[in-house]
């Protein structure tokens, strides 16, 4: 017996075929299950290429620091200035969501395997707690967990300043 099952309804990717129609660009705010972070020496040129060439749109930007691009749901790319990357950058960077209660054990497990592989955890201005792990392949993996949303916090003001407001239920933005 297989543990696999048909779950195509969770994907924005249409069924293949000659009449397949791409989904609309997705402008909703959600917890991203995974995303890539790409350093660039020319943020404006990169945004232009990704939006005009690859069909992404600018979901939001923090001027001079970050541009969040998206295409379909779950196709998220963060562009960051190259100078924010260490002198010897990892070969690639990808972030995976997790929950706060997972972070400590993931840090312990990674440090047990490679003691100098972990940096953090650190809290971010956008209301997450992040752990950075460098793998044996020199990939930068960021494990990112949303913190509980506090409406009158600095993090809430940071998110509001870039146009992200919480849902009506007061849950995470």
Q: For 22-68, write each residue's pLDDT tens digit.
A: 889 999 888 889 999 888 888 999 999 999 887 899 999 999 889 99
Which helix (H) or strand (E) is 161 found in, with range?
Answer: helix 154-161
Is residue 29 in some structural domain?
no
User: To the nearest whole number, what is the mean pLDDT of the chain?
Assistant: 84
CA distance 14 to 98: 27
Task: Give start and end residues of each alpha helix (H) in 16-130.
Answer: 43-48, 100-113
Is residue 8 in some structural domain?
no
Is residue 13 in some structural domain?
no
Is residue 17 in some structural domain?
no
Burial class of residue 81, CB neighbours in 10 A (0-12, 13-18, 19+): middle
**Order of strands across the sheet that contains 139-146:** 57-62, 66-70, 76-81, 34-40, 92-98, 139-146, 128-134, 118-123
Is residue 129 in some structural domain?
yes
pLDDT beyond 60 at 117: yes
Let me know: does 28 contact 72? Beta carbons within 8 Å. no
Residue 83 banded pLDDT, cuts 50, 70, 90: confident
> Can you give the pTM of this predicted structure?
0.70
CA distance 119 to 14: 39
- Which CATH number is 157's domain given? 3.10.180.10
3-state class of 119 per DSSP?
Answer: strand
Is residue 12 in some structural domain?
no
How many domains would you assign to the chain? 1
Task: Provide the residue range defining the domain that includes 82.
Answer: 34-161
Is residue 21 in some structural domain?
no
Is residue 106 in some structural domain?
yes
């Amino acid at each position: 017996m297989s543990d696999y099952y048909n779950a195509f309804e969770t994907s924005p990717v249409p069924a293949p075929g000659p009449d397949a129609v791409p989904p609309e660009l997705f402008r909703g705010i959600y917890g991203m299950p995974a995303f890539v972070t790409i350093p660039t020496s020319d943020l404006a040129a990169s945004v232009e290429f990704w939006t005009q060439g690859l069909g992404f749109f600018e979901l939001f930007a923090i001027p001079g620091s970050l541009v969040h691009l998206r295409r379909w749901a779950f196709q998220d790319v963060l562009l960051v200035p190259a100078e924010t990357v260490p002198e010897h950058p990892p070969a690639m960077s990808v972030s995976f969501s997790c929950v706060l209660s997972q972070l400590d054990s993931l840090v312990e497990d990674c440090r047990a395997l490679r003691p100098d592989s972990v940096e953090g955890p650190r809290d971010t201005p956008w209301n997450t707690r992040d752990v950075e792990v460098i793998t044996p392949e020199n990939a930068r993996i960021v494990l990112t967990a949303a913190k509980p949303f506090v409406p009158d916090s600095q993090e809430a003001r940071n998110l509001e300043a870039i146009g992200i407001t919480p849902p009506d239920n007061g849950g995470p933005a």
